[in-house]
């Protein structure tokens, strides 16, 4: 997964917003969803899985788990210049990321988890599983497109 997506949302620390790894997972999920539905293309190749706490990008989980429930520090993006990285996004994707930021940034991680738990792609991928059961079931692009095209 492109670290530029993380950089896009971590820039929120400049706005006084702190993002936990759990919240980052949900923001990245919605960025993926909106881009898939609006532009008919995947913005990264990795599959999104239906974990107990909602949609998860496994490599992102591995990368961020060291922060636990603490906010991801701005230093995470190291010496990269966030503005230069963000400028590399195509204009249509950047516009969509801006829309996702506006719609979801003010929500808490818990609110975002609850939203995804009420949405069919996650529910369908976890069909037959207990609420806290571990799962690597994939959330399919077809399920995302079908649900969010109607919901949009």
What is the per-residue pLDDT across 25-82, written as a single tens digit (0 to 9) for each?
999 999 999 999 999 989 899 999 999 999 999 999 999 999 999 998 877 766 566 6
Do 108 and 23 form a contact (C-beta atoms < 8 A)? yes
Residues 61-66: contacts with CB under 8 Å, at least 24 apart:
61/21, 61/25, 64/21, 64/24, 65/21
Helix (H, G, I), strand (E, B) or coil at 51: strand
Predicted TM-score (pTM) of this structure: 0.91
What is the per-residue pLDDT across 115-135, written as a single tens digit (0 to 9) for each?
999 999 999 999 999 999 999
Domain-wise residue ranges, the chain: 3-151
């Amino acid at each position: 997964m492109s670290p530029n997506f993380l950089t896009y949302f971590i820039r929120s620390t400049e706005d006084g917003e702190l993002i936990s790894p759990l919240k980052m997972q949900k923001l990245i999920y919605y960025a993926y969803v909106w881009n898939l539905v609006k532009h008919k293309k995947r913005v990264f190749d990795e599959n999104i899985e239906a974990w107990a706490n909602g949609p998860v990008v496994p490599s992102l989980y591995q990368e961020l788990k060291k922060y636990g429930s603490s906010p991801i520090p701005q230093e995470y993006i190291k010496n990269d210049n966030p503005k230069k990285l963000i400028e590399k996004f195509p204009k249509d994707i950047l516009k969509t990321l801006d829309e996702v930021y506006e719609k979801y940034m003010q929500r808490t991680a818990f609110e975002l988890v609850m939203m995804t738990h009420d949405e069919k792609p996650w529910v369908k991928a976890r069909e037959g599983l207990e609420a806290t059961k571990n799962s690597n079931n994939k959330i399919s692009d077809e399920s995302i497109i079908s649900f969010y095209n109607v919901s949009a």
